[in-house]
Amino acid sequence: MTDQKDPGQAPVVEMRGITIEFPGVKALDGVDLTIRPGEVHALMGENGAGKSTLIKILTGVYQPGAGAIRVAGEDVRFGSTADSQAAGISTVYQEVNLCPNLSVAENIMLGHEVRRGPFVDWSATRRAATKHLARLGLDLDPASILDSHSLAVQQLCAIARAMVVRPRVLILDEPTSSLDKAEVAELFRVVRGLRDEGVAILFVSHFLDQVYEISDRMTILRNGRLVGEHRTAELSRMDLVSAMVGRSGEILADVGERAARVAAAEHDRAEPVLSAQGLGRPGSAAPFDLDLFEGEIVGMAGLLGSGRTELARLLFGADKPSEGALAVRGDTRAPSPLVSLRRGVVYSSEDRKKEGIIGDLTVRENIALAIQAGRGALRKVPAKELDAVVAKYIEALQIHPANPDALVRNLSGGNQQKVLLARWLATGPKVLILDEPTRGIDVGAKAEIQRLVTELADQGLSVLFISSELEEVLRLSERVVVLRDRHVAGVIHNGPDVTVETVLETIAERAAS
Amino acid sequence: MNAPNNVVANLRRLTRHHLFWPVAALVALVLACGAYSPGFLDVTVADSHLFGQPVDILRQSVTPLLLGLGMCLVIATGGIDLSVGAVMAISLAVSLTFIDANGPGTATALTALVIGLITALVIGTFNGFLVTVLGIQPFIATMILMVAGRGVAMLVTKGQITTTASPAFKSIGSGFVLGVPTPVVIGAVVLAIVAVLVRRTALGMLVESIGINREASRLAGVRATGLIWTVYAICGLLAGLAGIVYGAPTMAADANNIGLMKELDAIMVVVLGGTKLDGGKFSLAGVVVGSLLLTTIERAVIIFHIPSQVTPLFKALVLIVVCLAASERLRRAVTGLLPVRRLQEAS
C-alpha cells in the first residue's frame, strides 16, 4: 500500500507490521505507518479502529507483540514512554492532560523548570513559558491558573508543553475537538509553522474538513488493520469515509432531508412548550427571548465561548437565571435541575466526562439516575421496571456492549453519549437540550445520534441542538439561533437557500457593527 | 484440558473479589489462633448464654462495625467523619449523667439511651450542616468536634469520671438476648436496617453517584445537600450508639478515653472492606469483614503472647499484607510473571 515512488525525505518514523493482542482481541494486525519530516500525516479510522493503540505503541505505552519501529533510520524498542520521548516523540492527548489548579507556566514547564542550583528560578521559568506560548501566538499571563482559561486555551497550553522538548515528531490526538473555528485556524497556523521547521506531525481528528485542510497524507485503519496510505489530495472524502466505515458513506446523507421537509411544513404554533422572556445572568448570557415549539429542532450556532452552553444552562437551571421569566408548559417556577427534570426539560452537557457520566457506576445505574432523582431517594425504581427501560434503550440506541452491568467508564465515547441520551429519554422529556452531543465520536455513531434526534422530534419532542459543526446544525434544525458574545445575534429560518455562509455572515455582521 | 482452565478461571475470579483477601486473612488468623491455643474455637453454653473466644470477638467487633457503617456512607460521598470517637464519649457521658441524676430504674435507662442517641444525632446533623450548608471541607468540619467534642463531654460530666449503676443500662453492653450477647444483636439489627435503608431504597446508588461525580449527579437532578446531610446524621447516630454499647459495661463516663482513636479504627475497617477513601462505590459487607478482622487481630495479639511494645507493629503487618494482597497493581505485576496467565488467555 505504501507509496514507494514518493521522492520525499527519508522517513522519521517507520512502523512495520505492528501487531498487538489484548485478551480476546487482536487490536492491531500487521499495521504499517510511515511519517516523514515536514509533513502533516493524518491517522484516520472510526473509534475502535486502532488509532489510539497505534499511538500508544509509538509513545511507548504498549509494547507490540510483533513488528518493528524505526526512528530516523535506527531500530528502536520503546520500553516506556520515557524511551519514546527521548527519541523525540511528543504527544498532546485528546483529553487535556494538565493540572488545572497549577499555573500556566508550571503546566508548560513541568519537569523542565529553569533551575538555579537546587531551586527553581520561577521568574526565568515564567519567561521561558511565555516564550513557548509566544511561539504558538498566545499572549497569556504565565502566572494565571490554568483552570481559569477556556478548554481551548488549555488545549493550546498542552501543545506548548509538548513543544518544550523540541520534538522531531508531534502527535496531536483530537487536538481540535474543543476549539472554535478561529482557534482551529490559529492551531493550524502553528502546525504549519512547525511542519515548515521540519517537525513531523501525526494528526488524529474526527473532523474531515480539518483533515483535508491540514494533512499532506493519511493512513487509514479499520478494525485494527491497515486499509491504505494515501496523499490527501488524491483521495475524495466519499472514498475516505467508505474506507473508514467499510461501507458506502451514504449514511450521513439521508438525515439531511428532514430539515428541508420540516422547514416547509406548517406547525401548530399556538402554544410554545418552553418560553423564555428576557432570561439572563450577568457574566453568563445577556437577556434573551426564546420559544420552543412541539416537534421542532432548533439549532444553536456560534463560536466557542459565544454563550451557547451558558444559554442552555440557564434554560435548564444548571445556573440560576438572575433576571427574566421562564415558562415550561405554563409552569413558571424558577428552574433548577430537579425542577426542570420533573417538568420535562433535560440537558445533556457538552462535557461528557465531568458533567455527564458517573464512570464507576454501571450502564443500568447511569440510565436510572435521572428517573431516580425525579422520584427521590426513598422511592426506588422497581427492578423489573428499570430492567425493561434499560433493555429498551440499549436496544433502541444500539448501546455497545449491550451489557447493563458494564461500567460506563469502559465504554467508548459514542456509547457513553448514547447512555446519557438514554438517561434523559427515560425520563420522558418534552424538551431535550443537547450540547455538542456528537463531539469526539466517530462518523457512524454521529449519524445514529443525528437520526435519533430527528426521530424524537417527529414524535413531538422539542430539541435544542448545539453544535460547533455548522453543517450538522443546518442539516437538522428548522431554526438556527445564532449567538455572538453572549447575545442572541439573530435567528435564521432554515431553508434551501440557507448555507453555512449565511450563518457565518450573521455572526460576522454583528461583529462588524 | 478444559477442566483445569475452568478451575483456574474461577479461582482468579474469586481472588479478584474485593472481599477475598480480607476474608482469607480473617480465616488464616482464626485458624492460627486455634492452632496456637487449642480451645480457641470452642463455644460453650453456660447459664444458657454463649461463651468463648469467637463470641468475644463478635461482641467486640460491634463497636468498629457501628462506627464503620456510618463512616462507610460518609466516605462514599467523598467525605470523612473524624468526630466519631468524640461522639462516642459525648453520648455516653450524656446517658450516664442522666442516670446519675435520675436513679437506676429500667425506664430511666431507656430514657438515657434515647437521650444519648438524640445527642449523637444532633451532633451528626451539626457536622452535616457544616459540610453541606457552610461548605466546609469534611476533614476540617468534623475535626472541630474531634478536638472540641471531648471538651463537651467533660462539660457534661463536670470534669469527673461519672460512675453510676443501672443494671438495665449496663446490660446494653454486657447482657444477653436469647443467649446471644446484646451488642451482637444490636450490631446485627443495625446492619440489617442500614442495609435495607441504602440498598432497598435508592439512597446507596445516589450516594455513590455523588461520591463519584458530584456535578454530573447535580445535573441529573440529584440533590446532594439533603443526602449528604442525612449520611452525616446517620454516622453521628451510629457513633453515639457505639459509644453506649462500648461504654455501658464499665458504667463510667471517661470523657478522655472512651472512643479514643476509634475514628481511625472506623476508617480502617471501611478501607479494609474494599471501599476507596476517595468516595464512590462502597461495601457494607466489607465493613462487617473489616471489623471482624480488626477485632481478631487485636485478639490474636493476646493469644500469641506478643509483647505489648510490638503490638502495633503486628497489627500494622497484618494490615499491610491484606492491603498489598488486595492491590490490583501488585497483583497484575505478580501474575504477569506466572505461567497461569498464558493458560488463562489461551482458554
Residue B29 lies in a domain: no
What confidence tier does A5 reach under pLDDT thresholds 50, 70, 90? very low
At residue A191, φ and ψ (nearest 5 deg) are -60, -45
Cell (9 digits) for B21 = 483477601
Tell me the three state secondary structure of residue B51: strand
**Separation between Cα atoms, residue A289 and residue A278, nearest integer Å:** 5
- The beta-carbon neighbor of A361 closest among B209, B221, B227 is B209
Contact A380 B222 (CB under 8 A): no
What sign has the CA pseudo-torsion A349, A352, A357, A362? positive
**Separation between Cα atoms, residue B268 and residue B213, nearest integer Å:** 24
Structure confidence by residue, pLDDT tens digits, A343-353: 999 999 988 88
Structure confidence by residue, pLDDT tens digits, A55-114: 999 999 888 988 999 998 889 988 888 888 889 999 887 666 788 889 999 999 888 888
Looking at the complex, report in whole angstroms how far the Cα of residue A56 sits from the nearest Cα belonging to chain B.
Answer: 20
Give which of A352, A369, A381 to mutate to test B binding, by max B Cβ within 10 Å: A369
Angle at which helix A443-458 crosses helix A257-264, to 10 degrees, equals 20
- Strands in chain B per DSSP E: 44-46, 49-51, 162-163, 176-177, 180-181, 252-253
**Separation between Cα atoms, residue A48 and residue B34, nearest integer Å:** 55
- Strands in A122-255 per DSSP E: 169-173, 200-204, 217-222, 225-231
The amino acid that residue A286 corresponds to is A
- Per cent of chain A over pLDDT 70 is 89
Q: Which domain holds residue B287?
A: 48-305
- The beta-carbon neighbor of B215 closest among A23, A355, A377 is A355
**Separation between Cα atoms, residue B266 and residue B214, nearest integer Å:** 24
- Looking up residue B286, the CATH number of its domain turns out to be 1.10.3470
**The CATH number, out of the four listed (3.40.50.300, 3.20.20.140, 1.20.1270.360, 3.40.50.2300), of the domain defined by the range A253-344+433-512:** 3.40.50.300
Q: Which residues pair with A203 in a beta bridge?
A: A42, A172
Structure confidence by residue, pLDDT tens digits, A140-187: 888 999 888 877 788 788 888 888 888 899 999 887 766 777 778 878
The answer to whether the CB of A293 falls within 8 A of the CB of A273 is yes
Mean pLDDT of A381-397: 92
- Per cent of chain B over pLDDT 70 is 95
The answer to whether the CB of B269 falls within 8 A of the CB of B290 is yes
Q: What number of residues does chain A have?
A: 513
**Separation between Cα atoms, residue A313 and residue A84, nearest integer Å:** 43
Contact B213 A357 (CB under 8 A): yes
Structure confidence by residue, pLDDT tens digits, B101-116: 998 889 999 999 999 9
Structure confidence by residue, pLDDT tens digits, A265-295: 545 556 889 999 999 888 788 899 999 988 8
- The beta-carbon neighbor of A361 closest among B208, B215, B221 is B208
- Residue B140 CB-density burial (10 A; 0-12 exposed, 13-18 middle, 19+ buried): exposed
Is this model's pTM higher than 0.90 or not?
no
Asked whether residue B306 carries a pLDDT value surpassing 90, the answer given is no
At residue A302, φ and ψ (nearest 5 deg) are 155, 160
What confidence tier does A247 reach under pLDDT thresholds 50, 70, 90? low
Structure confidence by residue, pLDDT tens digits, B216-245: 999 999 999 999 999 999 999 999 999 999
Provide the domain count of chain B.
1
Map out the domains of chain A as residue ranges.
13-249, 253-344+433-512
Contact A372 B217 (CB under 8 A): no
Q: Which residues of A touch B200 (CB under 8 A)?
A: 380
Q: Which residues of A touch B345 (CB under 8 A)?
A: 23
Domain A13-249, second-level architecture: 3-Layer(aba) Sandwich (3.40)
Structure confidence by residue, pLDDT tens digits, A301-341: 877 667 888 999 999 999 999 999 999 988 999 999 999 99
Q: Which residues of B touch A363 (CB under 8 A)?
A: none
Q: Which of A212-221, A255-264, A442-451, B80-89 has the lowest mean pLDDT?
A: A255-264
- Per cent of chain B over pLDDT 90 is 60
Contact B220 A375 (CB under 8 A): no
Mean pLDDT of chain B: 89
Asked whether residue A492 carries a pLDDT value surpassing 90, the answer given is no
Mean pLDDT of B304-326: 82
Q: Name the DSSP class of A266.
A: P
Q: In which order are the strands placed within the sheet that holds A169-173?
A: A89-92, A169-173, A200-204, A40-44, A217-222, A225-231
The answer to whether the CB of A51 falls within 8 A of the CB of A204 is yes
Listed residue (A163, A121, A114) closest to A138, CA to CA: A163
- The predicted structure's pLDDT at residue A508: 66
Contact B209 A365 (CB under 8 A): yes
- The beta-carbon neighbor of A349 closest among B203, B219, B227 is B219
- The predicted structure's pLDDT at residue B17: 81
Mean pLDDT of B159-167: 88
Tell me the three state secondary structure of residue B258: coil
Whether B8 has its CB under 8 Å from any CB of chain A: the answer is: no
Q: Name the DSSP class of B261.
A: T
Whether B200 has its CB under 8 Å from any CB of chain A: the answer is: yes
Contact A361 B205 (CB under 8 A): yes
Mean pLDDT of A222-243: 84
Mean pLDDT of B2-23: 78
Contact A341 B221 (CB under 8 A): yes
Q: Which residues pair with A484 in a beta bridge?
A: A487
Structure confidence by residue, pLDDT tens digits, A153-165: 887 888 888 888 8
Residue B139 lies in a domain: yes
What confidence tier does A1 reach under pLDDT thresholds 50, 70, 90? very low
Q: Which residues of A touch B214 (CB under 8 A)?
A: none
User: Which tops the pLDDT comparison, B71 or A235?
Assistant: B71
Tell me the three state secondary structure of residue A10: coil
Looking at the complex, report in whole angstroms how far the Cα of residue A284 sits from the nearest Cα belonging to chain B.
Answer: 18
Q: How far is CA A83 from the centre of its chain?
A: 30
Residue B246 lies in a domain: yes
Q: Which residues of A touch B215 (CB under 8 A)?
A: 354-355
Give which of A336, A342, A372 to mutate to test B binding, by max B Cβ within 10 Å: A372
Listed residue (B42, B66, B65) closest to B53, CA to CA: B42
**Separation between Cα atoms, residue A145 and residue B227, nearest integer Å:** 32
The amino acid that residue B206 corresponds to is L
Whether B213 has its CB under 8 Å from any CB of chain A: the answer is: yes
**Separation between Cα atoms, residue A92 and residue A167, nearest integer Å:** 12
Contact B221 A358 (CB under 8 A): no
What sign has the CA pseudo-torsion A351, A224, A89, A232? negative
Listed residue (B265, B284, B262, B266) closest to B274, CA to CA: B284
- The predicted structure's pLDDT at residue B345: 42
- Do the domains A13-249 and A253-344+433-512 sit in the same CATH topology, yes or no? yes
- The beta-carbon neighbor of B201 closest among A358, A374, A377 is A377
Instruction: Report how many Cβ contacts below 8 Å link chain A to chain B.
Output: 84
- The predicted structure's pLDDT at residue A264: 46
Angle at which helix B53-60 crosses helix B284-303, to 10 degrees, equals 130
**Separation between Cα atoms, residue A475 and residue A471, nearest integer Å:** 6
Q: Which residues pair with A335 in a beta bridge?
A: none
Contact B221 A378 (CB under 8 A): no
**Separation between Cα atoms, residue A410 and residue A236, nearest integer Å:** 34
The answer to whether the CB of A444 falls within 8 A of the CB of A436 is no
Alpha carbon distances (Å) from A134 to A127, A128, A141: 10, 10, 11
User: Which tops the pLDDT comparison, B7 or A213?
Assistant: A213
Q: Which residues of A touch B343 (CB under 8 A)?
A: none
Contact B205 A372 (CB under 8 A): yes
Mean pLDDT of chain A: 84
- State ipTM: 0.83
Cell (9 digits) for A135 = 511561539
Alpha carbon distances (Å) from A453 to A258, A299, A447, A459, B248: 11, 12, 10, 10, 64
Q: Which residues, including other chains, have CB under 8 Å from residue A484's CB and lie 6 or more apart?
A: A302, A303, A306, A507, A510, A511
SS percent in chain A: helix, strand, coil, step 5: 40, 25, 35
